[in-house]
Structure 1
């Protein structure tokens, strides 16, 4: 169990910002050998009964998952230090309980793999398909949390990441599990062939990436000039209404900052973009602030900004609150709006909200009653630019679930506030997943973060311009053009199902042959 924990923790080094993906070629074989020990114990050990061995596999899987998620998600605890006097006591529970809960998915993966286990190379497919299946479930059950899928280990290297356009993050997870498990064959005579095939597959993936990047040089939309404002505002100031004037003054000063060549960058800007939850007040209910914002932008320009929004229920006079994005024109009028759909559990709402509030609990944003969910993903019309798909923070981490399928946008706008997590691996991991959405969908991504990483990303994942984490400033860039929908964007569900079915058949055949040999 200790070895399983350490192997899982080692796998976390494959994720951003370390990106040491070769460690998976150690972590996955160790996991397979541990399952071998459960399924085929040494002669001096009594064999476990079949169902008991599944329980043993699940325990090992839980330890592996606990190591992986604890090492990969410890930074979440930083959010509980923003209002330390109120939330610090929850830090150890958050740091430990979330990984402990997520580890049950890997427990299920090891148990499922044991059901399909056999001797020989087929057990690699059993391990890969079982673990990829529970990673898919992790991305969908209880609203989903597909953070640090194993496939993201191959997403940082841009040439390898182009495979996302074909099979998406879940498909790449299955591929990574297969390829990095093959070193397990090295203990057998002639077993070098399987790792060699894996290396050849990685070379082929990289070659495809070279070809695809060469086919799609970055081009830009005519007449669109973006300015992204990254304030690096302390998190405890973002929700303090007493700092209304100071916050607004800081935003205005940064937005007016000269361009890199010393010219008036704001005068040339057609679309000024501010990050998520930009204001410690409801800007839609503040006419004075709206006038100031309208005066900031040029006559034909617009401001796109994250903001809280309130809506009164006319039936009973109650209020609902939304995490939103406003489009504000030069007259100070809100001409477009998007409400966040995929809310963060315990950050923006509490499960069983009324019950937990009655016990004295509240989510990190301290919004009484929690935020309400928007009506759904939709494409927002943006003046003088292609229509945009809006992704507020957490919404960008869900593969295949980032656009309105009935109305494909021309670009994706991700506004976020990763300042909750400080200078930790969290914002880097988030950025990797956002860039993956660009490649999967063939759409450019424009990202505005309070403390970074703000960036403009073209539809094959090139970073056109960026501001680093933990800095303040403005980023001037043109808007990249879109590509025709790649294969994943048009047939992603079928492709992933097909890959899983092939792996499952291979594992099942190996298991059947093994049982025949035992008779």
Structure 2
């Protein structure tokens, strides 16, 4: 009963900690003064993680927190999903919560890494956990591009540090502060001094951030040139599909264009704007590539308006080429016409495009609202030619592009002096919190690059954002508004983000890799013969082999292993179909290795038994059959001179004759000592000194997880087969999924299975060669320097693993690049 009550209390504390963190996150993401809570919001959850007794409970806790975090921070996204997919808000929320670990995978990885390193000390555990969080967000980009550090946007001072490490850097620091507070809570019973150190570290981070922000703001150059004045047209015309059904397509296009014409004339005539910016896809067809006579007339009409305004116009439209259509931004100049297009790079999954591996007719029939746009090829900078003769390099971004720091950084490196952002945030109209988050994400791109930004959306929020991330002019949600943004344009100071890119996530991944390597090296410490496994741990499963069976199994296994070495020679020096034909490789491998190895295994299984020592007897049992030998009759254990078909021994009886059965046994020396310990007469292990040392050396080297068969011969070949198969598809079919599109899913999967099998064969053959080198090197060291045999074996084993796990990927990379 006490255990049940204790478990119940632990469970209640765990759920209470998750709930407390969810409530604090809910307040944190609401903005305003709530940004302060970012430093404490995760601390209750971290306390529950530390209390989880098992890895399973830890991962369950992390899953629950990912769901709670999603519900606290993004309920509007679930509602938006339900509205967009026409399934209702409850179903949209359900989909979002079910997919929470996919939307927020960093919680799972963070908790797992902390659990693995909990015994290594609080500091390393906190650093590794924070690194795992930001590395996961870098490796697995999120649909919304969100990260925990975005919540610091309301603090003008603290957000300035984003020009050093981006929002990932802010997330990392927030996590470390939460870790320090959780550590202080854990030590509160140890006295004030124990609590003071983590509290001091927690307080130091916001102080340093504020100090850096003050210095950064003071160091920004004063504007010297004439500011850029841009008119941002927020038309508040949304839900085109509904309007088409009510008014007809032509009437809707007419209303949209006339509204934008009128507001653009006001921006130039009344407010003297240098340029005009319209929102994403405001022109819902292909500008410059008309699909009809009416489309060509509308193109000419827009050009006529631009000529009349005498200022450049940048607006959202479609572009197309022989490959397909793109969500694009068009730059149109008065007089000279179309300057060029920027094609949106970061498309929204499903709504704008469907990944090739998922795209199919049945999916589009099930989800008719899925998009079919193609992605652009990265950042581009266009010259904005103004009427007064100035030419300002401008980086355009469309909607989801502005949540990717790398695009803004690339634009700054290309020489951009301003950012033009276009979005259609109409789906946020009922959920303004989503639009606020999107605007905050866009503002961080200005902080990271120190570039001014003009941002226009269909329904709000449109804004002019200065290089500090401050909004100097903005709109309300759901209102037709003309925003006039005046921002200075100059050569920006070069930030660390522009110099190094979005480096924090990459650095965190490298740190974790080095930590894993260091941990692996520690676990690979060289053993000693004295510290080899205790021989008294007697294996229960053995094989009782008559001479003929041992001979047959030994011949089959020897044939199979020698065949692997012969295949390796053919790979290296031979010619013919075996080197290049996957089917030939599979046939030869199956006939000369798999088949004899499988027959040998079946033979050994047929004579398998359980060994035990009981009542002065050596008992070998298989089902109801028992074979008994009095221990008093055993005079010696004679290990097999050649470990074929594996390690084993013969028993020499007191009469001088050998027992008629051999024992396939991993540790003959251990068997001899176990017989003696069980009450038998002292027995001898008759083996030469070198053979005895060789057996000891082989047993002393423990096999790690890198030598687990599932990893070595299953997952590792799979990881090699994926890029190799993709290159093959690109060469033969022109795309990574070419065979799927031409011949269907079954043919595509069959082809991939063949490649996987071929790489498995390659890994098996390489492992066999490396094992042969290891054994030969060990034997050579026994003849040349027996005292160094253990060290030699250790190094040969480790170098063999390095050659396999690093050499094969390196070889594949070189072949692919070539």
TM-score category, normalised to shorter length: 0.7 to 0.9
Rounded to whole Å, the distance in 2 between the matches of 1:103 and 1:84 is: 22
Rounded to whole Å, the distance in 1 between the matches of 2:502 and 2:205 is: 23
Rounded to whole Å, the distance in 2 between the matches of 1:463 and 1:155 is: 11
1:266-285 superposed matches below 5 A: 268-284=272-288, 285=290
Indicate if the aligned counterparts of 1:379 and 1:389 stay in contact, CA closer than 8 A.
Answer: yes
Partner of 1:361: 366
Gaps of 5+ in 2: 1-13, 523-818
Rounded to whole Å, the distance in 2 between the matches of 1:27 and 1:505 is: 30
Cα separation, partners in 2 of 1:235 and 1:3, compared to 1, 3 Å: farther
Cα separation, partners in 2 of 1:205 and 1:23, compared to 1, 3 Å: closer
Q: Quick one: which of 42, 51, 63 aligns to 1:28?
A: 42
Rounded to whole Å, the distance in 2 between the matches of 1:205 and 1:227 is: 35
Q: Deviations over 1:245-276 (max 9, x none)?
A: 111122222223368xxx622xx222100011
Q: Quick one: which of 209, 212, 215 aligns to 2:213?
A: 209
1:291-330 superposed matches below 5 A: 291-297=300-306, 298=308, 300-313=310-323, 320-330=324-334
Question: What's the CA shift for 1:402?
Answer: 2.7
Over aligned residue pairs, what C-alpha RMSD do you find? Answer: 3.3
Indicate if the aligned counterparts of 1:231 and 1:451 stay in contact, CA closer than 8 A.
Answer: yes
Q: Deviations over 1:369-399 (max 9, x none)?
A: x111112222223223421222110111123
Indicate if the aligned counterparts of 2:18 and 2:48 stay in contact, CA closer than 8 A.
Answer: no
1:150-169 superposed matches below 5 A: 150-169=148-167
Cα separation, partners in 2 of 1:55 and 1:220, compared to 1, 3 Å: farther
Q: Quick one: which of 379, 384, 391 aligns to 1:377?
A: 379
Q: How many residues align?
A: 482
Q: Are residues 1:415 and 2:428 paired?
A: no
Rounded to whole Å, the distance in 2 between the matches of 1:392 and 1:289 is: 23
Indicate if the aligned counterparts of 1:4 and 1:61 stay in contact, CA closer than 8 A.
Answer: no
Q: Quick one: which of 453, 457, 472 aligns to 2:465?
A: 457
Question: What's the CA shift for 1:403?
Answer: 4.0
Question: What's the CA shift for 1:71?
Answer: 2.0
Cα separation, partners in 2 of 1:129 and 1:389, compared to 1, 3 Å: farther
Rounded to whole Å, the distance in 2 between the matches of 1:437 and 1:228 is: 19
Rounded to whole Å, the distance in 1 between the matches of 2:158 and 2:242 is: 38
Question: What's the CA shift for 1:480?
Answer: 2.5
Question: What's the CA shift for 1:178?
Answer: 0.6
Q: Deviations over 1:482-506 (max 9, x none)?
A: 4122122212455665577779999
Q: Are residues 1:106 and 2:93 paired?
A: no
1:25-174 superposed matches below 5 A: 25-39=39-53, 53-80=54-81, 91-118=92-119, 121-122=122-123, 126-127=125-126, 129-141=128-140, 144-145=142-143, 147-174=145-172
Partner of 2:406: 400
> Which secondary structure does the structure 2 equivalent of 1:346 belong to?
coil
Cα separation, partners in 2 of 1:157 and 1:227, compared to 1, 3 Å: same
Ranked by relative contact order (alpha carbons within 8 Å, sequence separation 6 or more), the top structure is 1
Rounded to whole Å, the distance in 1 between the matches of 2:398 and 2:221 is: 28
Cα separation, partners in 2 of 1:363 and 1:478, compared to 1, 3 Å: farther
Indicate if the aligned counterparts of 2:436 and 2:461 stay in contact, CA closer than 8 A.
Answer: yes
> Which secondary structure does the structure 2 equivalent of 1:484 belong to?
coil
Partner of 2:4: none
Rounded to whole Å, the distance in 2 between the matches of 1:126 and 1:235 is: 49
Q: Deviations over 1:431-470 (max 9, x none)?
A: 1111111111121111111112211112222222222332
Q: Select the structure of larger CA radius of gyration.
A: 2
Question: What's the CA shift for 1:9?
Answer: 2.3
> Which secondary structure does the structure 2 equivalent of 1:381 belong to?
strand
> Which secondary structure does the structure 1 equivalent of 2:437 belong to?
helix
Instruction: Specify which structure has the higher proportion of helix.
Output: 2
Gaps of 5+ in 1: 40-52, 314-319, 514-519
1:213-362 superposed matches below 5 A: 213-216=217-220, 219=223, 221-222=225-226, 224-236=228-240, 240=244, 241-242=249-250, 243-257=252-266, 264-265=270-271, 268-284=272-288, 285=290, 286-297=295-306, 298=308, 300-313=310-323, 320-331=324-335, 333-351=337-355, 352-355=357-360, 357-358=362-363, 360-362=365-367
Cα separation, partners in 2 of 1:104 and 1:391, compared to 1, 3 Å: same
> Which secondary structure does the structure 1 equivalent of 2:99 belong to?
helix
Cα separation, partners in 2 of 1:85 and 1:381, compared to 1, 3 Å: same
Q: Quick one: which of 28, 37, 44 aligns to 1:14?
A: 28
Partner of 2:444: 436
Indicate if the aligned counterparts of 1:413 and 1:445 stay in contact, CA closer than 8 A.
Answer: yes
Question: What's the CA shift for 1:220?
Answer: 6.6
Cα separation, partners in 2 of 1:129 and 1:180, compared to 1, 3 Å: same
Q: Which TM-score applies when normalising by structure 1?
A: 0.83
Rounded to whole Å, the distance in 2 between the matches of 1:328 and 1:56 is: 59
Rounded to whole Å, the distance in 1 between the matches of 2:284 and 2:229 is: 28
1:496-507 superposed matches below 5 A: none
Indicate if the aligned counterparts of 2:425 and 2:458 stay in contact, CA closer than 8 A.
Answer: yes
Partner of 2:673: none
Indicate if the aligned counterparts of 2:235 and 2:260 stay in contact, CA closer than 8 A.
Answer: yes
Rounded to whole Å, the distance in 1 between the matches of 2:48 and 2:87 is: 43
Partner of 1:517: none
Q: Which TM-score applies when normalising by structure 2?
A: 0.54
Indicate if the aligned counterparts of 2:131 and 2:505 stay in contact, CA closer than 8 A.
Answer: no
